[in-house]
Structure 1
Amino acid sequence: MFLPDYLLALCSFVSMLSRAGCLPRVAWTGCRRMGNFTSSSGALTSTACAQYIQEVVSQNCVVIFSKTTCPYCKMAKNVFNEIGAAYKVIELDEHNDGRRLQEALAQMTGARTVPRVFINGNCIGGGSDTKELHQQGKLLPLIEQCAPCCAATSSEGSGSGQFVSAK
């Protein structure tokens, strides 16, 4: 079957968005051309990941990019649980594009380590930074500055003590 180039390009673009986690998971196997999977360049994937991160961070007051076995990630989550603050967690080790997301986070924040904690759109650092801000009494005021649209708990599973693995 012959497909015009513009359809192949569209198919490749949709496939890239799907791999970047920007589309809901459906029974999508990608496009095939002469038996080879068409893929996009690494730069596009990096851009899509950065856009995904910016979207998640802009729609939630507190976002923690985490890994399930990381003790510093658990430290950050515990701080927010202690103060009863709503937050969204993206577990990178359970996310299909976790490695790419972590690379994009490194480019955006200057640190490759997890957790990467964002409050009101700003990266405040990692687990130790979060704990230190809490001990200094500076964490809650940052959360209270969140825009009303971001501070509300969403139906996607954000919330105090609820861990969300966004896939």
Structure 2
Amino acid sequence: MAAKDLVESTISENKITIFSKTYCPYCRRAKTLLTSKFPNVETKIFELDEMNEGSEIQDYLLEKTGQRTVPNIFINQKHVGGCDAVVGLDSKGQLAQLVEANSPSTSKL
């Protein structure tokens, strides 16, 4: 239950949430893309390989999204997918629209 609560609260409180592993090249690419293109956007990154509950979080992400692999990325509470999905959205010019869209939880900004 703790993993579920952590995932859900983090997704709702941040514009961008990335579930990652420190050694993953796809994670590194996605994190670099998102943090360099949107440096002023609230981004929360969890390095699951450095967390005691990392495996439980991945299990919950599988249940929630059907994806257990990392990176597992949410933008404005919407599950986007992994690195290829983010790069694809960026190349189509759709990533900025998604990041800049207002979400219910960002009304506090």
Query: Number of aligned pairs?
Result: 107
Give the residue type in structure 1 aligned to 2:46: I
1:84 is aligned to 38
The farther-off stretch of 75-84 and 54-63 is 75-84
Instruction: Note the alpha carbon deviations across 1:23-67, whole angstroms, 9 max, x for none.
Output: xxxxxxxxxxxxxxxxxxxxxxxx321121000000000000000
Under a length normalisation based on structure 1, what TM-score does the superposition of the two structures give? 0.59
Say which SS state the counterpart of residue 76 (structure 1) adopts: helix
Give the residue type in structure 2 aligned to 1:131: V
Give the whole-Å Cα distance in 2 for the aligned partners of 1:151 and 1:89: 21
TM-superposed deviation, 1:82:
3.0
Q: CA RMSD in A?
A: 1.9
Whether 1:105 and 2:61 are equivalent positions in the alignment is: yes
Higher relative contact order (CA 8 A, sep 6+): 2
TM-superposed deviation, 1:151:
8.4
Whether 1:60 and 2:18 are equivalent positions in the alignment is: no
Give the whole-Å Cα distance in 2 for the aligned partners of 1:114 and 1:128: 11
Query: 5+ residue gaps in structure 2?
Result: none
Give the whole-Å Cα distance in 1 for the aligned partners of 2:49 and 2:79: 20
Give the whole-Å Cα distance in 2 for the aligned partners of 1:146 and 1:69: 32
**8 Å contact kept, 2:17–2:44:** yes
Give the residue type in structure 2 aligned to 1:69: Y
Relative to total residues, which structure has the larger helix share, 1 or 2?
2
1:116 is aligned to 72
**8 Å contact kept, 2:17–2:74:** yes
Distance 1:88 1:146, change over 3 A: farther
- What is the percent sequence identity of the aligned residues? 37
Give the whole-Å Cα distance in 2 for the aligned partners of 1:67 and 1:97: 13
**8 Å contact kept, 1:66–1:115:** yes
